[in-house]
Structure 1
Amino acid sequence: MPHVVTQSCCADASCVVACPVNCIHPAPGEPGFGTAEMLFVDPATCVGCSACVTACPVGAIKPDTTLTDAELPFLELNAQYYHRNPHEDRTPLALVPTQRRLRRPGPFRIAVIGAGPAGLYTADELLRHPEITTVDVYDRLRTPYGLVRHGVAPDHGSTKRVTELFAAIESQPGFRYRLGVDVGTDVTLAQLRSEYHGVVYAVGASHDRTLGIPGEHLAGSLGATDLVGWYNGHPDRRELTVPLHHERAVVIGNGNVALDVARMLTRDPQWLAEHTDIAPHALNQLRHSNIREVRILGRRGPANAAFTVPELLGLKQATHVDVVVDADPSTLTGTDRHTLILRELAERPTPTGTRPRIVLEFHAAPVEIIGDRRTVALEIARTGADGVPTGTTRVVDTGLVVRAIGFRGSGTTGLPTDPATGIARHDRGRVEPGLYVAGWVKRGPRGFIGTNKTCAQETVESILDDLDGTDTTDTPATPPTRGVGLDAWRRLDAAEIARGATEGRPRVKLTDPHEQARAQAPREAPRRKRAWGVVPA
């Protein structure tokens, strides 16, 4: 019974190591591992033992006989991969590299700034080495997991299951959270460098790229980071004003984030309440939304779309919304996977109009957001094959324009960064001995959750090289206790799950930092009542 991977990979590689016949690729050390959209199971060599099923931390692998109709296209993806990438010459078992040991005995202490996937993967790689006994993970927020908590769409519950892997990482001896600590305000980088043998910045790209068109400042013109943070309960975005009064919204950019936004704006609020952890304030506003159409604009043609194949397949199988492809038929004749899926969507019967719809429009670029103090329309230019406007424009009414054209870093105090991109200047993660980077601040906003694992491995190798190459015996000062730790996070996590249970939801997020702090506070043990007539010992 062949097995099938049904979503983007977290790159944990547990499934690869568990497989006794080496039928899952690309594997660690092979081209594409950590950067491929997903892994693939070779149907010709899979023996159906299900070892990979139990090893996968996000539940993405299934026997082919249990696939839903929506998941059947992944069978074809597996077959296509092995047709294009034959693996007959591979060794029969996954190879586990020999554990590196440091020349110096330690103990060493490392600080990681950022509790998202990049930070947690970095902590995990560091703690694999016995000489590194302590890794303190700092974050400005009182909650960990970064974009997994505040960026992954609420209706992607299977992707969020990677938090189970993170829970295993944070449970290791030597791992400590320092949550609610803003590095640069509550503590300086200089202080951290005096207290640790190394400091790793593992922060993301927190700002949206701008369009550079008139009207971008109007109310109703939002960056995807703001909107995604709003419906995911990011404390900084909980009071965001999102206009939902108009029947049409427009998303500029055609990557996975654009699809996330479109799905969330067209989902039935009651379904969201029952199946997701969407933030309460966003859920309440979406219950009164008038949006019936979301147009996703791509400057170039279907073959250049930035959607990943798993996300596009998910949209194709969606039952809550009609999907319309607005593209010249001549641009849908290619044989690449994106174009094939889009051509199938374009050939569907015309929707009846009873459901909300998502329109995938190609060769369209924004010219101007029109309005006085708020957005009322968007002027759109027709573009040629090169994405350059041809001179033909039209105007569509809309109350909400969301730009999803990529992210950029904001610059980090103490790091030499490119002013245009916010990416740090480094060599294999090393800014200078003792100061390192991982994640988007290192490589830019690209890749998937699992890409952070291979990124972290490279940075940790640089850290180990520097620890081995330093002859000094100086011991850093002992850092004071800062912020809140793992126990506090677990109390908040339990409080959110308990609140969700009372409302029939998977989780109800606490988004107010003051409310989070109350949930994280240790509870006093109940006082024992004195039995009548008994003298206490």
Structure 2
Amino acid sequence: MSCHKLLLSELKLWSSGGSSWISRLRCGGRGKAFSSSSQNVHISIVGGGPAGFYTAQNLIKARQDVEVDIYERLPVPFGLVRFGVAPDHPEVKNVINTFTQTAKHSRCNFYGNVNVGKDVSIEELQQAYHAVILSYGAEGNRSMGVPGEDLAGVYSAKDFVGWYNGQPTCQELSPDLSCETAVILGQGNVALDVARILLSPLDVLKKTDITQPALEALAESHVRRVLIVGRRGPMQIACTIKEIREMVNLPGTRPEMIAADYEGVTEALKDVPRPRKRLTELMLKTAMETPGEKEQERRNNASCSWGFRFFRSPVEVLADTNRNRTAGIRLAVNKLEGSGEAARAALTGEVEDVSCGLVISSIGYKSLPIDPSVPFDFRKAIVPNSMGRVQQAAGIYCSGWVKTGPTGVIATTMNNSFDTARSLVEDIDSGVLDISAGKPGSQSISTLLEKRGVKPVTFSDWEKIDNVEMKRGEASGKPREKILTVEEMLRVART
């Protein structure tokens, strides 16, 4: 039976009645009246993270006839705002309030626990919706491509962050923190987040929403020194000044810098934009200036240290004598060719070995293909697109990291999501996207999912999970205590 006929037959099934959970889906789980009028433009968004919610928000504002359904693989919404933002950065998570308003809008529905590409195909979504927007982010890890990266003691930053932030797929990680020195490869904000969490006083972390297992592991941690390694120099570092300032002021730690790394930097600062200039000046001050009496005393009393290592690239993760776990890392020594943001790292032929028992690779996330019917650029690890319009795939759009690659902060994602929404609205207005035929939206998809034994989690179901997490957190003096397994999430959602 063709997909089209299958959908028609299942629409007949739907119209003759269904289970209570389908009825709840039609109301978005909140008693919202669901309209299947052919006058409405039905749009599905794949991915319930920042890109998905920002795209939905803009579409709903742009046109009064748009209805948006957000499908998310996990039972809980908000993606990297929940699982990526550092526990000690609660202010960044305030954007959840905006996303909640969008989810509760009368023309928006959230369906968690639906794995698009597995539970339902992109082609089936295309049959049910006027447009499909891919906003499923970047859940893959970029490989270092060096010998030894599979040794015990080597972790991706994505998995490490997921572990302490409660990502269900990362809860088996159990990182070994029994060593004194950790090396983080990469110098972006995520790398500095990991460094800060490794060295933060427990009294600080106990007041955050870090998971209890992570808190217990960090309480037993022997890590006292963290080196943050980058292939280029101070003028090319990828993090923001806020993250560096937090490291400089981190209680119980002292900076461990190499003065030679900053040769010529003062002269080069004359022609750079102000944000880069301020960031670099802070590093220069930390590395080169003699601290005042109070700061010197603080550093003398510190039990932990951290430092940047510039002009270094990983060559090999070194094994211990038993060849089964990490004992160090071999770094190539680089020199810069060119200047500023365009400078490239070139090998000098020298290498340097650093003893360490923990290596965390923070060299970037990457998107993965979702469905054979959707074009995918494996080299760039994105869905090829023009302003969010997926190439050679009419009616399919993309936003967020699957559109651009894993770059920028939440504000960057907001802007690129708004651009995608604008492209889609332009296509509706110009007639490029045909909305003349009625589409059933989630009404047909809910029937497909029921036949396949998939029970979506609505936004009101999520609010049950949210409520339980907040109460558990309150009991232990934390903003929330996250539920760590999909099974328990679903149990709470269906209570």
Is the CA contact (8 Å cut-off) linking 2:56 and 2:68 kept in structure 1?
A: yes
Is the CA contact (8 Å cut-off) linking 1:369 and 1:377 kept in structure 2?
A: yes
> Cα deviations across residues 27-47 of structure 1 (Å, max 9, x unaligned)?
xxxxxxxxxxxxxxxxxxxxx
Aligned-partner SS, 2:215: helix
- Name the residue aligned to 2:20: none
Aligned-partner SS, 1:144: coil
- Name the residue aligned to 1:485: 458
Once the two structures are superposed, the pairs formed by residues 129-148 of structure 1 within 5 Å of their partners are 129-148=62-81
Aligned-partner SS, 2:71: strand
Amino acid at match of 1:235: P
- Name the residue aligned to 1:429: 388
Change beyond 3 A, Cα 1:519–1:348: farther
Aligned-partner SS, 2:100: helix
Post-superposition shift, 1:365?
Answer: 2.0
> Cα deviations across residues 148-186 of structure 1 (Å, max 9, x unaligned)?
100111111111122122122222111111101000111
Post-superposition shift, 1:480?
Answer: 4.2
- Name the residue aligned to 1:352: 300
Change beyond 3 A, Cα 1:340–1:140: same
More helix by share: 2
Q: Find the partner of 1:396 among 341, 346, 354.
A: 354
Distance 1:226 1:174 in 2: 35
Distance 2:164 2:458 in 1: 26
- Name the residue aligned to 1:164: 97
TM-score for both structures, normalised by structure 1: 0.75
- Name the residue aligned to 1:306: 238
Is the CA contact (8 Å cut-off) linking 2:130 and 2:434 kept in structure 1?
A: no
Change beyond 3 A, Cα 1:323–1:160: farther
Change beyond 3 A, Cα 1:471–1:316: closer
Is the CA contact (8 Å cut-off) linking 2:125 and 2:445 kept in structure 1?
A: no
- Name the residue aligned to 2:449: none
Post-superposition shift, 1:373?
Answer: 1.3
Distance 2:129 2:468 in 1: 33
Aligned-partner SS, 1:507: coil
Distance 2:203 2:491 in 1: 29
Change beyond 3 A, Cα 1:348–1:495: farther
Distance 1:241 1:348 in 2: 40
Q: Find the partner of 1:378 among 299, 323, 329.
A: 329
Distance 1:237 1:309 in 2: 29
Distance 2:258 2:490 in 1: 48
Is the CA contact (8 Å cut-off) linking 2:154 and 2:359 kept in structure 1?
A: yes
Distance 2:199 2:191 in 1: 13
- Name the residue aligned to 1:79: none
- Name the residue aligned to 1:115: 48
Distance 1:457 1:271 in 2: 36
Asked whether 1:420 is paired with 2:379, we answer yes
Is the CA contact (8 Å cut-off) linking 1:301 and 1:331 kept in structure 2?
A: no
Is the CA contact (8 Å cut-off) linking 1:202 and 1:441 kept in structure 2?
A: yes
> Cα deviations across residues 268-303 of structure 1 (Å, max 9, x unaligned)?
223211x21111221111111000011001112111
Q: Find the partner of 2:425 among 448, 453, 464.
A: 464
Aligned-partner SS, 1:467: helix
Once the two structures are superposed, the pairs formed by residues 36-47 of structure 1 within 5 Å of their partners are none
Asked whether 1:270 is paired with 2:209, we answer no
- Name the residue aligned to 1:127: 60
**Structure 2 segments unaligned to the other structure (5+ residues):** 1-36, 270-276, 338-344, 447-454
Q: Find the partner of 2:439 among 455, 471, 476.
A: 476
Provide the identity percentage: 36
Quick check: 275-284 or 312-321, which moved more? 312-321
> Cα deviations across residues 43-100 of structure 1 (Å, max 9, x unaligned)?
xxxxxxxxxxxxxxxxxxxxxxxxxxxxxxxxxxxxxxxxxxxxxxxxxxxxxxxxxx
Distance 1:452 1:339 in 2: 25
Is the CA contact (8 Å cut-off) linking 1:201 and 1:441 kept in structure 2?
A: yes
Is the CA contact (8 Å cut-off) linking 2:253 and 2:302 kept in structure 1?
A: no
Amino acid at match of 2:437: D
Amino acid at match of 2:438: T
- Name the residue aligned to 1:4: none
Aligned pair count reads 418
Higher relative contact order (CA 8 A, sep 6+): 2
**Structure 1 segments unaligned to the other structure (5+ residues):** 1-103, 523-537
Is the CA contact (8 Å cut-off) linking 1:248 and 1:291 kept in structure 2?
A: yes
Asked whether 1:296 is paired with 2:213, we answer no
Aligned-partner SS, 1:283: helix
Is the CA contact (8 Å cut-off) linking 1:205 and 1:445 kept in structure 2?
A: yes
TM-score for both structures, normalised by structure 2: 0.81
Quick check: 365-374 or 385-394, which moved more? 385-394
Distance 1:185 1:471 in 2: 27
> Cα deviations across residues 419-449 of structure 1 (Å, max 9, x unaligned)?
1122111121111331110001111111210
